[in-house]
Structure formats: structure tokens, C-alpha cells
Structure 1
């Protein structure tokens, strides 16, 4: 529910951003966000994740001094990490401006970003307390308030400052999150204990090492995305294309990604508890693939009908060209429904080497395909790259888990995979073969067929009639 509410706020915010900035402005936002993410990945050591883990590890302890000691250490780490990010942004501001935008005119943006890294580092230290203590209610309220205030401020800033407001939106968002996390963690001490370098090194070294390893994959992924956008930008002449690309990514990852995020909340913990039993892992992953396909495929077919309207509704008619990417890229979501559960196997097994190879392979393939296919086919090539990346990555990861963990598809899973991939391919054939009027008719028919098939398969697994009546009785 929290994710849905945040998405709704994001949709409203995106609409105004699109109105005030247009495709070119959104392209600038995308490039700056990507550059910021790279600096964060390099200097941040996945601080929020590892800090959350540290708090969670002592959550059950009755020793209050242990929690206070951990929080104090994390706050000192926040100072180091924040200053590290600020120094990188300050010292390389001119270079970063040139590589990101093809000009040094935006150097002042990266100078101002130094403040963002310091504030965000402190926010992460406080947010880690909420997440580590597993205070779900307070965390949900915190996120919703932050999303609402950020969206409201974003609209106002862009209204008055337009493109020059981009950097101020980033700074404003960081300040909002900091103040809110401070308020919701006010019960936990913010006192800084005397600094002892030897003691700090001893306490923080294991956390930094873990964070460094976790950040490697993130760094590679962010650099890959950044290079793709720089290539598309063509020295600053194609910001409009980046705007189209960004919209397609938002729809594929942020909106349709809700399905996968919702599944992961339940799937990942369950898989972790049985990670040592390969047969149970195989059973659960196969079940998850089946459910994912049943839910995702009708949604993707429906998106072929409503995506052009959603683009105009969420953004403006100027972004309609984004559908040229989505026409092909939507099929990659069906592939992701198969690959996504399999990808968790290496993660829960804790095989760091294989996990690194897995991420590296995906990033390199995505980088090569996106650049080469965009060069030859333009926006269509970006969509095709998403599909081929899903195919190659899927084959690679399947062969890897099959070899190391004896994973394979059950016969029922194979049948579902083949049928749903066929439905997706038929959708693509219809979209590229017919004029708009006939396309909508045939896609609508295909959606009905896909929805009925999914309902039939879902009913086999959970008995929908019993499930619904049970839910109704509980509410009574």
C-alpha cells in the first residue's frame, strides 16, 4: 500500500515536471541523477543497506548500550562518507560537468551537490535505525510524508525556476528526508562520542568492507546506464531522446516493477530460509515463476493498449515517442517474470563470486546491445536491446544455476513459460503489423484470451472461489 501511494505521488509530480521541463529538461534530470548515483555508488559503500543490517543484528539484544554504541559508530561513518562524496563532487565538478552534459557550464551543479552528499549520508544513518528496528508503521509514515513534501516542493521549484531548478530540487529533497528521519528517530541518541581513530577503525572496518563489496555491482550498473545515456545524448544534442528513454524506463521499472517488488517482499525471505535445500529452492522458484507469468502477461498485453494514453496522462503528448521503445521493450517484462525468481538463487546461496559475474554479465550485455542497436535502429533499437538482454541474461543465469545448484524447470513451468512467451510474441506481431484501429481490436481480443487463461491457471493453484470467500468472511 505504501508503494502504491508513493507511486501515485510520483505520477502527479512527474506530470508537472513534464509540463515545466519537457523532454529536454527530463533528459537533463536523468543525466544528473545518473551522475549523482555513480558518485553515491563509489563513495557511499551501500551505507543504508549495511547500516540497516548492523542495527537489525542487535535489535533483539536487551543491551541498550550496544544499540547506542552502534548508532554512534554509524553517525561517525556518516560524517566520513558524506565528506568523501562531497570532496569527489567538489574536486571533479568541472570534469563531471563536461562528461555529463558536454559542457563545463553546469559545474556549479556539482559544487552544490557536495551539500547533498553530506545531508543524505546523515539521513541514511537515521533511516537505517527505522529499517533496522523493523518499525514498519513509522517507516511507512516517514516515506509517505517525505514523498508528499518532496513532490509538492518539486512542483513549486520547477514552476518558478524551470531547468535551473533541477539542482535545487535535489537539494530540497535531501533536506526534507533529513528533517523527517531526524523527527522519526528523535528517541535515539544523536550524541557524538569522543573520536578515537583506532576504535573507529576496529568498529567500522568490517562494515566498510561489506559495503564495498556490495557497492561494486551497483557501481558497474550505474556506469553502464550512464555510458548508454551519454551515447544517446551525442555530446548534448539528443537530450530529447534521453527524455523519451527515461520515460520508458520509469514505466518499465517503477510502475510495472511494482509487481516484482510486491513478490520479492514475500519470496526473498521464504527463499532465504530454505537456501541450503536445493530441491526446496527449485520448488519455490518454479512456483514463483508460474505465479509471476500468470500475473504479468495479461498486464503487459493490456499495456500495449493503454501505454500511449498513460504516457500522455502521466507526462505530455511530447513524450509520445517513448512508445516506440515500449512497443518492443514491454515483452522484456515477460522475460523478467521468468528470470527474476531465478536470479535470487545465487543471492540467497551467498556465492559472492557468482553474484558478481551475474551482475557483470548483465551490465556488459545491456551496454553493448543498447549502444549498437540504438546506433542502427534508433528508439526501436533500445526496445530491442531490452528484449535481447533479457534473453541472453536469462540463458546465462539459467545455465549457471543449473550447473551449480541443479536447478531446472518443472514440466508445468515449461508449459507456462512457452505459452506466455508465445502470447507476448503475438502481441508484438500485432503491434507492428496492423494500423492503430485494428491493432487495438486484436490486442483487446488477445488480452481477453490471456486474462482468461491466467485466471484458469491461477484457479488451479489457489482455488479463487474459496480464496475470495475466505477474504470476505475475514473482513466481516
Structure 2
């Protein structure tokens, strides 16, 4: 049993390290890019980038039929069974459907351009901008399908390299264009970044499964089961992207582009930071959980191991982030973004609860209960939007940070409560212990931002960071018997 426990911990640590490291590099590159974007465009320009990106995500989610998620299950089933012929054939099915969704997405973007212009902006006519974003939506559909193929056949190294190439390309594309064209370069940057990501993904995918045009007649009919499974994922994506778009449109109209830019900077810092570990969940954890989804004991073991490792890795980072944000914000962006510090500090607490939620939320996905997933996601985003609106009305930008954290607390209680009753999930004693101790360090770090200042602030914060890191290190070491640097 101890050997199985060590192997489980070692596996989770290994792939969390691989994809967390890749995501960490992506974050570092993204921070460099955002620093230049902040200098070149300012808060208003970053708000504009946020509006266009959110719209692209909304249309993409609404028209991709959830293929990027549902295709993974079908391809991995054939691949794990060793049926190379059916795997290769289903790859053609996925590609055919992705081409169809790409064309649909571009058409929707062009037709609804005037609507999005009126819905997201209270000034000017931006219809042409939305029309010009259509190619990006088509390329996102293709990228999603090819990424699903790579995940289905467990090409984890290729997926990691795609992320690195895409991050470097975004840096090389964004900085010179924004320098030369300012805000006029926002739409071209979004399109070119989508093209770079698609090209990198196709390069790896086509090497494994070369593009074949013969034998494609009738393949769309074969993909109906995949599409039916993906419909609920699509609806959940629409709800999520729609909520994000509503929040950003609301802040733009009720506030202004500067407020939106500040909100987006704070949201990006806190959400992206924890994304280093969440990336590993999507790529490695989800297929592992799917393989044991009908075994309650194995499911509990898999979920708890992932949650324990994620807590021990993420929590000390979040504690440090809360403490260091007053220093980091001016360096990562510009002095114009300093007002976002209080919002980002309280929003960082949300990620503690995200770590306690995501591994459990994947149980529903692994079992294929797509409608349940849709209902849970909808409930969360309704609460999220309501809290953001109320938070901004009463406490301004700080209120949005409080709202983000409260929404994640609600989601954590809802998801864990549902899994407890429906799937027989039981949180391990180790998860409870780690969560209590590490949350206390996190709340101590946040309390210091309210009640302390000067040298006392830094002394207490450094003690909290060191204690959190030491506690996490000792538990990772004792649990996995892996020596970490």
C-alpha cells in the first residue's frame, strides 16, 4: 500500500512538475509581454484587449460543439485498446467536425458583429473589428480539435512544446505590433497569435497523424455521438464565456476602460498563477481519473492525491503572491496599475478554494455526466455575476476581488457537497489537515495587508511565507519520498 501511495504521489508530482513548469514558463513570458503591453497600451488598452478576447472566447465556445473535450474520451478509448486503425479513422472524424465548426464560428462572428459592437461598447462603431476577428475563431476551432487528438494519444511532450512555442510567438508578435500601431494593433495581434498556436499544434499533430483527404465521405455522421456529448460542454462554455463577457461589459459601461483594464490585470495575475498546476490536471489528471471513474475507492484515491499535491504546491505560492503584490504590480505592469493591488490580494484567496474544487469537479466530467456539469457550472456563474455586480456597486474594484473569492467559496461547497452525496467522494484526512494549515497561513498573509504596514508587515509576511513553504516541502518530501530542490 505504501509503495502504491509513493508511486501515486510520484506520478502526480512528476506531471504536475512537467506541465506546471511549462505553465510557469508561459506565465513568465506572459508577464514580460504584459509588462510591455501595459507600457504601450495602458489600462484602457488592456481593457480593450480583454473585451475582444472575451468575445472571441464566447463565440468559440458557442460554436465548437465541445469537441475539444468530448473527442479526448473517444480517441483515448481506441488508443488504449491498441486499435490503431480505428484511432486513425476517428482522427479524421474529429478533423472533419472541427473544420465545420471553424466555418460556423467565422460565420457567426461576421453576422453578429453589429450586435457585439452595441453590447460591449457604449461609444463608437466596432463592427469591423469583430468581423476581422472571425479568422481567429476559425483557427481556435482547428487548434481545439488537434489538441484533443494529442491528448487522446497521450503525446504530453508535444503538448508541452506547443504551449512553449505559442507563448514565445505571442511575445514576438505582440510587442512590435503594439509598439508600431498601439491600440490599432489589438485585432491583428489576436489573429496572428491564434495562427501561431494553430500552426504549432498542427505541426506536431500532422507528424503523428498526417492529413488524409481520402476516405472522409460520411465521417460527419460518425461524429454525432461525440457532438451529443459535447453539447452540454458547449452550453457550459457559453455560460462561462457569457458571464465573463457580461462582467467586462458591465465594468466598461458602469466604470470605464481603465477600470476594466485594472480588473483584468488583477484577475489575470491571480487566476493565471494557480493555472500552473491546473494545466497538469487537464492534461494528465483527467485521463487518469476517467480510467477509474467507476471505482469509488480508486476515484477517491486519485482525487485526493491530486488535491494534496496541488495544495502543497500552490498554497505557498499564493501566500507569497499576496504578500509581494505591492512590489510586483509596478514591475509587472506600470505604476498606473497600483490601484489593483487590494483587489488582487483578496482575489488570490479564491485560488485556495479553487484547488479544493477542481479535482472533485473532474469526477462529473470523467463519468460523462455532461448535463450535471452544465447545471453546476451555470449555478456558479450566476452567483459569480451577481456577486461581481454587487461588489462593484458597494466597494468598487476591491468589491470585485471579494466577489471572486466568495464565488469560489460557494463553488467549493457546492461541488464537494454534490460529489459527497452523488459519487460517494470522501475528502482524505490529509487534505483536511493541509487545507486548514495552509489556509491559515494564507489568511494571515492577507490580514497583514489590512492591519500592518512598514517593517512589521514585512517581518510577519516573510514568516508566513517561510512557514507555509517549509510545511509544504516537509509534507511533499515525507509523502512521496522524492527529494525536491
Query: TM-score, normalized by length of structure 2?
Result: 0.86
Q: Distance in 2 between matches of 1:194 and 1:434?
A: 69
**Match of 2:56?**
36
Structure number with larger C-alpha Rg:
1
Q: Which of 209, 213, 217 does residue 192 from structure 1 map onto?
A: 213
Determine if contact 1:217/1:360 at 8 Å carries over to the other structure.
Answer: yes
Q: Can you give the 5+ residue segments of structure 2 that lack an aligned partner in the other structure?
A: 1-20
2:322 paired with 1:304: yes
Task: Please state how far the C-alpha of 1:29 moved relative to its aligned partner.
Answer: 0.5
Aligned in 2, Cα 1:204/1:319: closer, same or farther, shift over 3 Å?
same
Aligned-pair CA distance for 1:47: 3.0
Match of 2:448 in 1: 430
Match of 2:331 in 1: 313
Shift of 1:297: 2.8
Indicate the residue corresponding to 1:224 in structure 2: 243
| Structure 2 CA distance for aligned equivalents of residues 5 and 374 of structure 1 | 33
Q: Superposition pairs for residues 76-475 of structure 1, below 5 Å?
A: 76-187=96-207, 188-193=209-214, 199-234=218-253, 237-262=255-280, 265-463=283-481, 467-468=482-483
Distance 2:188 2:215 in 1: 35
Shift of the alpha carbon at 1:405?
2.7
RMSD between aligned alpha carbons?
A: 2.8
Compare relative contact order (CA 8 Å, sep 6+) and give the higher one, 1 or 2. Answer: 2
Deviation at 1:423, TM superposition (A): 2.6
For residue 36 of structure 2, the aligned residue among 16, 19, 26 is: 16
Conservation of the 8 A alpha-carbon contact between 1:120 and 1:174: yes
CA deviation after TM superposition for structure 1 residue 217, in Å: 1.1
CA distance in 2, matches of 1:180, 1:335: 34
> Structure 1 residues 112 and 256 mapped into 2: Cα distance closer, same or farther (>3 Å)?
same
Please say which of residues 359-368 and 420-429 is displaced more in the overlay: 420-429
Task: Flag structure 1 segments of 5+ consecutive residues without an equivalent.
Answer: none
Using the TM superposition, give the Cα deviation of residue 211 of structure 1 relative to its aligned residue in structure 2, in angstroms.
2.2
| 1:243 shift after superposition | 1.1
Give per-residue Cα distances to partners, 1:68-95, cap 9 Å, x unaligned. Answer: 6444444432332122112111111111
Superposition deviation, residue 23 in structure 1: 0.6
Q: How many pairs were matched up?
A: 464
Taking the aligned partners of 2:130 and 2:357, their CA distance within structure 1 comes to 37
